[in-house]
Amino acid sequence: MNWGFERERGIVNMTIKCNVLDRQFQMHQSEYEEAALRVLRSGWYVLGNEVAAFEEEFAAYTGRKYCVGLNSGLDALIMSVRALGIGEGDEVIVQSNTYIATVLGITENKATPVFVEPDEYFNMDAEKIEQAITPKTRAIMVTHLYGQASNMEPIARIAKKHHLELLEDCAQSHGACFEGKMTGSFGISGCFSFYPTKNLGAFGDAGAVVTDDEGLADELRMMRNYGSRVRYYNEIEGLNSRLDELQAAFLRIKLKYVDNLNSERRALALAYDTGIKNDKIALPKVRPGADNIWHQYVVRCGERDRLRQYLQENDIQTQIHYPIPPHLAECYRHLGYKKGDFPIAERYADEVLSLPIYTGMTGAEQDYVIEKLNSFSLMNSERENCV
Ligand SMILES: *Cc1c(COP(=O)(O)O)cnc(C)c1O
């Protein structure tokens, strides 16, 4: 397909964005348009046949018995923690370099997050979990960050040994496996976001929980709809976190292609792996046995801000996931942490840079990014030569 990308005399005449969302729409445009019309004409817009069908298909995809469609990934996290009865006075173990939403899933229930540092793969360091367990610990919440499966064999073993619930934040890991087993199928609850930029992204907000636990699925179904199984008979204090028919219909289409979309990202990641040759830039590592669906391609650089500025000057957009680790976020000031408490997460926050990677990224676009990354090195040595 021609995306209208032109190179003139070696100069790219457009900005390379971090994310380009319309290309994945254009790839299957007529299917999405048909689905939209089907839903619009059906006269049924929230929690209907499309949602039920998507739930069945996504449960099957992840290898779980049940899927409950929700409003967002954050809701999936908050509601899972709540449905498990975890709240005030309880502690939940979570990695120190995750997205704020993972931690909000805990604190929105008045439970206390206990941070564990990440390993060299940006995921929870399994070796540091046991020292964080106290008599108050109720659960371990892992995030399969950037699309790479966490070290699930030891983590699941530790959870079992200490009788802790295991929850997975799979907002960035749709389809990523650990030793052949889907992320989201290790713990009691696999929490997914379908925010448009995610690998399985909707065209608006959406999320889901997958589980094999019938009781949990049941509780979540009630909770998402004002705590009622039968309309207006409210058994628990619920909320409104219903998935709508349009998003479910779109997600059913996207789900058919998500493995292809992930393969495309793997190819893009491989091209970065082999193309980037710059000793100032550390490439991401993949853990043996862990699959990576490359939600983000995250490099590390000691001069990250200068690299980012340099790329910006060359019309290449990048992002930082994430500039401030949760323990230092303004909103968690009351938890009493200070700089230096989680040095690995803090170092990552200073060094990580997410390169453009998206469905439909062309070879020419990626070559241009690689060329600029490699010439950042040249610029350095020229500088050094001048000194
Ligand atoms: C996106 C994301 C979430 C939240 O999902 P929303 O659908 O935006 O609420 C949670 N955790 C992680 C790791 C995410 O990347």
CA 184 / ligand 1 centre spacing (Å) = 14
Question: In this predicted structure, what is the pLDDT of residue 2?
Answer: 43
Measure the CA–CA gap between 165 and 143, rounded to whole angstroms: 14
Could you tell which of 172, 199, 243 is best to mutate to test the pocket of ligand 1, judged by most ligand atoms within 8 Å of the CB? 172
CA of 74, closest atom in ligand 1: 9
Name the closest-CA residue to atom 5, ligand 1: 73
CA 348 / ligand 1 centre spacing (Å) = 19
Q: Torsion angle of alpha carbons 164, 75, 143, 109, nearest 10°? A: -40
DSSP SS3 for 297: strand
Question: In this predicted structure, what is the pLDDT of residue 379?
Answer: 57
CA 285 / ligand 1 centre spacing (Å) = 23
CA 193 / ligand 1 centre spacing (Å) = 5
CA 26 / ligand 1 centre spacing (Å) = 25
Name the closest-CA residue to atom 6, ligand 1: 73
CA of 295, closest atom in ligand 1: 15
Question: In this predicted structure, what is the pLDDT of residue 316?
Answer: 98
Could you tell which of 81, 94, 98, 102 is best to mutate to test the pocket of ligand 1, judged by most ligand atoms within 8 Å of the CB? 102
CA of 101, closest atom in ligand 1: 10
CB 164 within 8 A of CB 111: no
Q: Pick out the chain residues at pLDDT < 70.
A: 1-13, 378-387
CA of 145, closest atom in ligand 1: 13
Cβ < 6 A, ligand 1 pocket? 72-74, 98-99, 101-102, 143, 169, 171-172, 193, 195, 205, 207
CA 87 / ligand 1 centre spacing (Å) = 21
Bridge partners, residue 192, by sequence: 208
Do the bridges between strand 233-234 and strand 228-230 make them parallel or antiparallel, or are there none, so unpaired?
A: antiparallel
Task: Determine whether 8 is exposed, middle or buried from the number of CB atoms within 10 Å of its CB (0-12, 13-18, 19+).
Answer: exposed
CA of 206, closest atom in ligand 1: 7
Q: What is the DSSP string of 127-188?
A: GGTGGG--TTEEEEEEE-GGGBPP-HHHHHHHHHHTT-EEEEE-TT-TT-EETTEETTSSSS
Measure the CA–CA gap between 112 and 130, rounded to whole angstroms: 17
- Token pair, residue 194, equals 């379908």
CA 80 / ligand 1 centre spacing (Å) = 14
Question: In this predicted structure, what is the pLDDT of residue 260?
Answer: 97
CA 164 / ligand 1 centre spacing (Å) = 23
90 C-beta neighbours (distance < 10 Å), count: 18
Helix or strand holding residue 49 (H, E): helix 49-62
Question: In this predicted structure, what is the pLDDT of residue 14?
Answer: 77
- Token pair, residue 188, equals 């009691």
CA of 193, closest atom in ligand 1: 7
CA of 75, closest atom in ligand 1: 9
CA of 197, closest atom in ligand 1: 1
